[in-house]
Amino acid sequence: MTVHIGAKPGDIAETVLLPGDPYRAKWAAETFLENAVCVNEVRGMLGFTGTWKGNRVTIHGSGMGMPSLSIYANELIKDYDAKTLIRIGSCGGMQDDVKVRDVILAMTASSLSTPSSGIFKEFNFAPCADFGLLQAAHNAAKGKSATTHVGGIYSSDVFYDERPDLNEQMVRHGILGVEMEAAELYNLASRYGRRALAVLTVSDHLKTGEALPSDQRERSFGDMVEIALEAAFA
């Protein structure tokens, strides 16, 4: 048990999927896991452990933004010995060929700053995904209905962005999408020698303004969860 996670020793699996929304964690656990049990509800941040094809999996909310994810990822790694951490979440598309409902596999995650910036100081560390997970996810995606893209994403500090000049440069340099958590997850995984990946569903588009209605989001997230699970145990 930690300050933010009430799970007992042994309650958390070595493989953890991390949606931002705790209720998305509940939906994913009920939809994809067998015998899922709630192992955490401290501060309303739900976590569930069950099995997928005989493999133990925990699906645990991380909250919104890198500071929140950093809390949960740190405790899952250092106190519960999580070894594989995969973010499953939504993102905004930034390229013309990236469409709403597509899936992005984040090879790298650029950022202006992260909770780890105080450690790196003037050094611009380039956090990236675990190659084995990335390769396995790419293979798993071939059998899914969603179009899949592999490349760099941008992890933003803010949701309500007021930097159109920065967005223009992101698009110019091939950034596929924007979200708010992956860069810090990749930093922590590198620091502690763990495997990490972000598998993201495009829920809206910065250039076109198209967005999935809230009642359609979960139906469109199924491919993302299946890709993450298949990659974890490939």
Q: Is 215 exposed, middle or buried (0-12, 13-18, 19+ CB in 10 A)?
A: exposed
56 forms beta bridges with 51
Sequence ranges of the binding site for phosphate = 20, 24, 43, 87-90
Provide the CATH topology of domain 15-232: Rossmann fold (3.40.50)
- Write out the two tokens for 230: 């298949």
> 3-class DSSP state for residue 162?
coil
Say how far apart CA 21 and CA 26 lie, in whole Å. 9
Q: What is the pLDDT of residue 49?
A: 98
Say how far apart CA 194 and CA 35 lie, in whole Å. 26
Cα angle at 219 between 203 and 154, to 5 degrees? 25
The pTM of this model reads 0.96
SS3 content of the chain, % helix, strand, coil (to 5): 35, 30, 40
89 forms beta bridges with 200
- Write out the two tokens for 37: 């049990």
Residues assigned a catalytic role: 204
Q: Computed from CA positions of residues 190, 5, 136, 112, in that sequence, does the dihedral angle turn out positive or negative?
A: negative
Sequence ranges of the binding site for a purine D-ribonucleoside = 4, 179-181, 203-204
As a whole number of Å, the CA-based R_g of the chain is 16
Task: Write out the chain's pLDDT in tens, 234 residues.
Answer: 899 999 999 999 999 999 999 999 999 999 999 999 999 999 999 999 999 999 999 999 999 999 999 999 999 999 999 999 999 999 999 999 999 999 999 999 999 999 999 999 999 999 999 999 999 999 999 989 999 999 999 999 999 988 899 999 999 999 999 999 999 999 999 999 999 999 999 999 999 999 988 777 766 799 999 999 999 999
Cα angle at 213 between 212 and 216, to 5 degrees? 85
The answer to whether 202 and 234 are in contact (CB under 8 A) is no
Q: What is the pLDDT of residue 13?
A: 98
Q: What is the pLDDT of residue 21?
A: 95
Q: What is the pLDDT of residue 234?
A: 94
Backbone angles phi, psi at 182, to 5 degrees: -60, -35
Q: What is the pLDDT of residue 214?
A: 73
Strands 55-60 and 84-93: unpaired
Sequence ranges of the binding site = 4, 20, 24, 43, 87-90, 179-181, 203-204
Measured over all CA atoms, what is the biggest interatomic distance in the chain, rounded to whole angstroms?
48
